[in-house]
Copies of this chain bind each other. A is one copy, B any other.
Amino acid sequence: MSFSPLINELITALKCLPGVGAKSAQRMAFALLERNRDGAMTLSKVLHDAMEHVSHCEHCRTFTEARLCKICENPMRSETGQLCIVESPQDVLAVEQTSEYKGKYFVLMGHLSPIDGIGPAEIGLTELVQLLDRESIQEVILATNPTVEGEATAHYIGQICREKQIKATRIAHGVPVGGELEYIDGNTISHAFAGRRPV
């Protein structure tokens, strides 16, 4: 015995959400049915609209329902001649929260991962090359994650820039501000030592 067909379907469908297993899907289904049908109806509509209309910005590849995202639309953003390469839309948000970077972005929507069949084309490097040829970029800032894949990706894009004689820089890795040395991994500490600067 189980629940009614439609409730079973709802529980199954909720399991498409990352981190939601059978038990939480069941809890979610009943919570919505019991206490928040309006919220569920809104979620149904917004899910549909977002999946139908959200695509990629034609310039930077981030997610947006418009042809160009807010940042690419802003002509001031081209003035610095800087292009920051990140892995995800969430990374754009993280950099923007510092309010210090004023240039444009290019969002890879991933990183190189040959084992998973993710090569240069899958992370938009064809479009990136076109963009570098088309626009006058003075500096490419490689802000991919400090993981094995992120480093490999940064290295690969760095080579493209070198061929085109465009300056490429990598963001610094080191001890996070407020971090305590004793809790930082050795690899990070090595980076922090290698990147030391006179005070």
A residues engaging B (CB < 8 A)?
1-7, 9-10, 13-14, 16-19, 24, 26-34, 36-37, 39-51, 53-54, 63-66, 69-71, 88-90, 93, 96-97, 109
- Supply 22 A–B pairs (Cβ within 8 Å), ascending by A: A1-B93, A3-B89, A4-B66, A5-B65, A6-B46, A6-B50, A6-B65, A13-B43, A13-B46, A14-B17, A16-B32, A16-B40, A16-B43, A17-B17, A18-B28, A19-B24, A30-B89, A33-B63, A41-B48, A41-B51, A43-B47, A44-B51
- Give the interface SS of chain A, mostly helix, strand, loop or mixed: helix
Q: How far is the CB of A88 from chain B (nearest CB, A)?
A: 7
In the complex, which residue of chain B has the Cβ closest to the Cβ of A5? Answer: B65
